[in-house]
Structure 1
Amino acid sequence: MTHIIDRRLNGKNKSTVNRQRFLDRYKKHIKEAVNQTIKQRSIQDMEQGTEISLPSRDVSEPIFHHGPGGVNTRVHPGNKEFHQGDHIARPPSGGGAGGAGEGKASNQGEGMDDFVFQISQEEFLDYMFEDLELPNLIRKQLKDATSFEYHRAGFTNSGTPDKLNVVRSLRNAHARRIALGGKKRKRAKEILMQLKALEEEQEAGKTNDDLEVIRNALIQELEELRHKLGKLPFIDDFDLRYHNLVKVPLPSTRAVMFCVMDVSGSMTQAIKDIAKRFFILLFLFLKRNYKQIDVVFIRHHTTAQEVDEETFFYSRETGGTIVSSALDLTAEVIEQRYNPADWNIYVAQASDGDNWDDDSIKCAKLLMEKIMPLVQYFAYVEIGSRFHQNLWEEYKQVATTFPDQFAMQDLTDAADIYPVFRELFERKEA
């Protein structure tokens, strides 16, 4: 008989390591379940954990069993109803005809429920965003490592006075004085002890000319030692230590995302709601995956203004439509605050596409001349169920000129938000 002993320290179903192994093993199935869950929940609920249901056929576990062949002795449990040679009758009404299949319910048989378990908020977001990224970020980091900063790298014997380390210099001076005057100080202590012994003899009445000669010689030697010790400089040029600074390349790892949203009168409340949900998902993605990133919120109708997050998502202000005002403001903010040599610049724009014909031409010109040469990626999302308007047609020219930096997608309802988001920010293979 085979005995299998589990010597793991953690009990069954109580090990964090075992849970992580389970998640790694069924990563593909869990990710598919997460994608299905995303389609059924609102953007506001994206940051919460969820229950994941996996078909039982996908979570079968490996088992130990005896292989074919060999001599096996088996002892089966007995029963009270049957004896050797009895025939087993069929169950009534076909109840023993078999189950309805795994994961299904049936009144005529038995089945097996799907495997359902809970994943945390962190695990849900990991599966949701694991294969998304800001495009071209790595290429920018490697290409623009042109700025430098100075880092301390120990100490040096030479330098300018402003880099002098006073504590280290005084410590070196003290150590030098101890090292050079150590033997002299030791001899001086010995002389002092000898002089004390001579004084004790004199007090005891043991005085003669030889002791006086010895005493005078010791005093003279002690004065010479003290004179030599006094000549040791308190601090020497050899003791000085300066901070050593080395020039280290500073890669361009910072990123900024411009969120540009149309809030004109043609943007109905339903369209604005879809745009807000798209930007909420984008904002959540950026804050989770990139620690050093700035987000600039720009909303526009006939005029554009930079606002905070609360005003961007919930202000009721509206008006006509001049899209170029937002692009002008974006270019102005980039010029004033975000040097392309130091920052990875991204722009995401959401609009219904309604704009003046002349202004749409101006928008395409602004993009190609002022914005696209400076940014890593520009994503345009047009929201609405009607046909594309002139802004879309003008942006097509920009997409043709900058195929790797400019992306366009359209949204018709809230169900398209996440698929479009994945299409815009899907990780590209190197």
Structure 2
Amino acid sequence: MSRNIDQDLSRFKDIVRGKVRRQLRKYITHGEMIGRKGRDYVSIPVPNIEIPHFQHGQKGAGGVGQGDGDVGQPIGRGQDDGDGQGQAGDQPGSGHLREVEVTLDELAEMLGQELELPRIEPKGKNNITTKKDRYTSIRTTGPNSLRHLKRTYKKALRRLIASDDYDPQRPVIIPTRDDQLYRSWKTTDEPETNAAVIYVMDVSGSMTDDQKEIVRIEAFWIDTWLQNQYDGIETRYVIHDAVAREVDEDTFYHTRESGGTRISSAYNVVNSLIQRDFNPTDWNIYVFQFSDGDNWGEDNRDCLEILTENIVPHCNLFCYGQVESPYGSGEFIRELQEVREQHDNVVLSEIENKEAIYESIKSFLGKGK
């Protein structure tokens, strides 16, 4: 009975995850689960899970019941259940939401399948190593916590059969001290592939809360994929208007300034971060910049110089996402066209609205760098 219940539960989870996978594009563009993010799991509201319920059948069709009822009328608690507010009604509800927990690794696999993302080939992976214990061998001595029960009983069984002491009609196997086998480990040096992710965002007055929400959703999915590809992720945040500074995640998404825009100030901070904390020979470096495309005209030359000499050569990817704003000029992406033509690790994306997040993520991560 317990095994049947486990099988039914496993099948139900497969059905729910299949529904999540089929509706992943909707989740990508609207970000329902971001507010439900845990350390290892994401809680996703899945709509339209059918809840079985009894209904009245045709009279005389068999069965036992009490009271009057019409054909098709639900019996007991079922799809007519509501939230307990308002007057009683006789119409079925439109659907149900069920919170389903999905691991971040599962979500990353779904994302990779949906967007057909290639696996990332990290650079510098031979320069950083870590010692790891792998239980790959068997010993005849060890603590009880590492005793390998299956192999111990197999050894005892072979001993009994070899000595002709085994009785198939009374299969009693009592391992002796000489039968005990224990799992053992080997310590090896394994490459540790770490990544540094630096997010840059214009927080001048022309970037509204709607644009910041787009950035927040896209960054969530970028993080989900990169964390699936690397052993460790270091994330930094840089905001700027005419002046740039490094901030924490909450400040990154909730700061709004006024005044002018000087993108070179942000590039200088990014360059300092790379030089100070992330040796390009050891780290896989990703820079994701989001802006509405406004910049002080005389600053563009400085931007291109810092970008091409100090940032792009050290990055796996430099991605620029231009979020459309009713107040931004949208000109800066044109300045970056020449840089993209000269460097294949530069990706540009125009994000008109939330619906464009899907294609933007695919553009950014589709190179497999």
TM-score by length of 2: 0.60
Aligned to 2:331: 390
TM-score by length of 1: 0.52
Structure 2 unaligned blocks of 5 or more:
38-42, 51-59, 62-70, 72-92, 134-186
Matched, 1:51 2:51: no
Aligned to 1:236: none
| Change in CA separation of 1:399 and 1:46 when aligned onto 2, cut-off 3 Å | farther
Count of aligned positions: 275
Identity of aligned residues (%): 25
Does the CA contact (< 8 Å) of 1:131 and 1:427 recur in 2?
no
Matched, 1:371 2:311: yes
1:282-305 deviation per Cα after TM superposition (whole angstroms, max 9, x unaligned):
456556765511101111111111
Q: Give the partner amino acid of 1:395.
A: L
Q: State the SS of the aligned residue for 1:416.
A: helix
How far did residue 320 of structure 1 move?
1.3
| Equivalent-residue separation in structure 2 for 1:377 and 1:418 (angstroms) | 18
Does the CA contact (< 8 Å) of 2:16 and 2:100 recur in 1?
no
Q: Give the partner amino acid of 1:50.
A: P
How far did residue 327 of structure 1 move?
0.8
| Change in CA separation of 1:312 and 1:40 when aligned onto 2, cut-off 3 Å | closer
Does the CA contact (< 8 Å) of 2:198 and 2:287 recur in 1?
yes
Aligned to 2:102: 122
Does the CA contact (< 8 Å) of 1:360 and 1:394 recur in 2?
yes
| Change in CA separation of 1:329 and 1:391 when aligned onto 2, cut-off 3 Å | same
| Equivalent-residue separation in structure 1 for 2:3 and 2:94 (angstroms) | 26
My pick for the range that moved more, 249-258 or 19-28, is 19-28
Aligned to 1:279: 219
Q: State the SS of the aligned residue for 1:326.
A: helix
Does the CA contact (< 8 Å) of 1:43 and 1:281 recur in 2?
no
1:219-254 deviation per Cα after TM superposition (whole angstroms, max 9, x unaligned):
xxxxxxxxxxxxxxxxxxxxxxxxxxxx97663511
Matched, 1:339 2:279: yes
Does the CA contact (< 8 Å) of 1:298 and 1:326 recur in 2?
yes
Does the CA contact (< 8 Å) of 1:33 and 1:54 recur in 2?
no
Structure 1 unaligned blocks of 5 or more:
1-7, 56-78, 81-94, 96-112, 153-246
Aligned to 1:424: 364
Does the CA contact (< 8 Å) of 1:30 and 1:54 recur in 2?
no
| Change in CA separation of 1:20 and 1:117 when aligned onto 2, cut-off 3 Å | farther
Matched, 1:361 2:295: no
Does the CA contact (< 8 Å) of 1:259 and 1:348 recur in 2?
yes
**Which structure shows the higher strand fraction?**
2
**Which structure shows the higher helix fraction?**
1
How far did residue 356 of structure 1 move?
2.2
Aligned to 1:268: 208
How far did residue 364 of structure 1 move?
2.2
| Change in CA separation of 1:336 and 1:319 when aligned onto 2, cut-off 3 Å | same
Aligned to 1:139: 121
Q: State the SS of the aligned residue for 2:269.
A: helix
**Structure of higher CA gyration radius:** 1
| Change in CA separation of 1:249 and 1:324 when aligned onto 2, cut-off 3 Å | farther
Matched, 1:10 2:3: yes
| Change in CA separation of 1:46 and 1:349 when aligned onto 2, cut-off 3 Å | farther
| Equivalent-residue separation in structure 2 for 1:140 and 1:283 (angstroms) | 16
| Change in CA separation of 1:151 and 1:302 when aligned onto 2, cut-off 3 Å | same
Q: Give the partner amino acid of 2:338.
A: Q
| Equivalent-residue separation in structure 2 for 1:136 and 1:352 (angstroms) | 29
How far did residue 120 of structure 1 move?
2.0
Aligned CA RMSD, in angstroms, stands at 4.4
Q: State the SS of the aligned residue for 1:10.
A: helix
| Change in CA separation of 1:148 and 1:398 when aligned onto 2, cut-off 3 Å | same
Q: State the SS of the aligned residue for 2:122.
A: helix
| Change in CA separation of 1:114 and 1:419 when aligned onto 2, cut-off 3 Å | farther
